[in-house]
């Protein structure tokens, strides 16, 4: 159901160092289009919890191992068998799991090579960056089922694309492709799909590699400063930035960065 692995040097041995620190979390519930059921949510929560405390992790890519599908949302066959009290509990668990993803301390990238609907798009919205194939389909379609997005969609979509447009998409349950998603700011990058069906994943991988050379402590506190600062007024946000900057001053990596600059060589950061 879930594949979690440090990225191996799959392309060539020479790329091992290039990929070190990138972890790929892949959904693989093919018979159900990666629909979110109780078991998959439990596995996702466990995987995210392990990533949270692993200092060797530098960037996490969320993708699907199933061609043409990112995640179809909640498992409606399982949902139909639930009592109303179970539904509330399930949605709370889904919301908590997505929040755990959003709160991972390292950069996260959603690679959307196929359909991402409902909870599937909510998973992607919890990531720092979204990359999609032009043929991918995305939408928060819950109102078609007489419910609303319950795993953060009503909050993260307007914060991503603006309030008015988010309302329009949720009210209409509209599905957009990669090109339109890029034009409205839902995703950062759109790519033409390739024969292997993993163009978005490959673009996400290229982005992750851009992040790897930077100081690990700096990356974590930069994400913290941005995430916390976006929820407060500017004055408070600047105070958060100051507090986060202070965490980088006593680090060995900061001294290494200055030394590497002086010696005109690439820095060798250790996350200390």
Residues annotated as part of the active site:
74, 119, 122, 142
Q: What values do phi and psi take at 2, rounded to 5? A: -140, 130
Instruction: Find, among 178, 214, 52, 35, the residue nearest to 117 by Cα.
Output: 35
Name the one residue in this structure whose structure tokens are 């939408």. Answer: 139
User: Which residue in 173, 181, 212 sits closest to 191, CA to CA?
Assistant: 181
């Amino acid at each position: 159901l879930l594949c979690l692995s440090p990225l191996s040097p799959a392309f060539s041995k020479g790329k091992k160092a290039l990929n070190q620190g990138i972890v790929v979390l892949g959904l693989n519930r093919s018979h159900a289009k990666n629909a979110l059921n109780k078991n998959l949510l439990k596995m996702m929560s466990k995987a995210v919890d392990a990533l949270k405390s692993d200092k060797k992790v530098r960037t996490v890519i969320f993708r699907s191992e199933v061609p043409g599908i990112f995640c179809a949302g909640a498992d409606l066959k399982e949902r139909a068998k639930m009592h109303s009290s179970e539904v509330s509990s399930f949605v709370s668990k889904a919301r908590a799991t997505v929040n755990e993803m959003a709160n991972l301390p390292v950069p996260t990238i959603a690679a959307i090579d196929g359909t991402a609907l409902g909870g599937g798009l909510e998973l992607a919205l919890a990531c720092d960056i979204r990359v999609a194939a032009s043929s991918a389909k995305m939408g928060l379609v819950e109102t078609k089922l007489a419910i609303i997005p319950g795993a953060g969609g009503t909050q993260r979509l307007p914060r991503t694309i603006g309030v008015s447009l988010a309302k329009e998409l949720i009210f209409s349950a509209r599905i957009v492709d990669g090109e339109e998603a890029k034009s409205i700011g839902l995703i950062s990058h759109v790519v033409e799909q390739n024969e292997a069906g993993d163009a978005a994943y490959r673009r996400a991988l290229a982005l992750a590699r851009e992040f790897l050379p930077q100081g690990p402590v700096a990356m974590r506190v930069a994400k913290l400063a941005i995430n916390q600062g976006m929820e407060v007024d500017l004055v408070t946000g600047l105070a958060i930035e100051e507090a986060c900057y202070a965490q980088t001053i006593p680090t060995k990596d900061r001294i290494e960065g200055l030394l590497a600059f002086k010696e005109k060589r690439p820095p060798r950061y250790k996350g200390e």
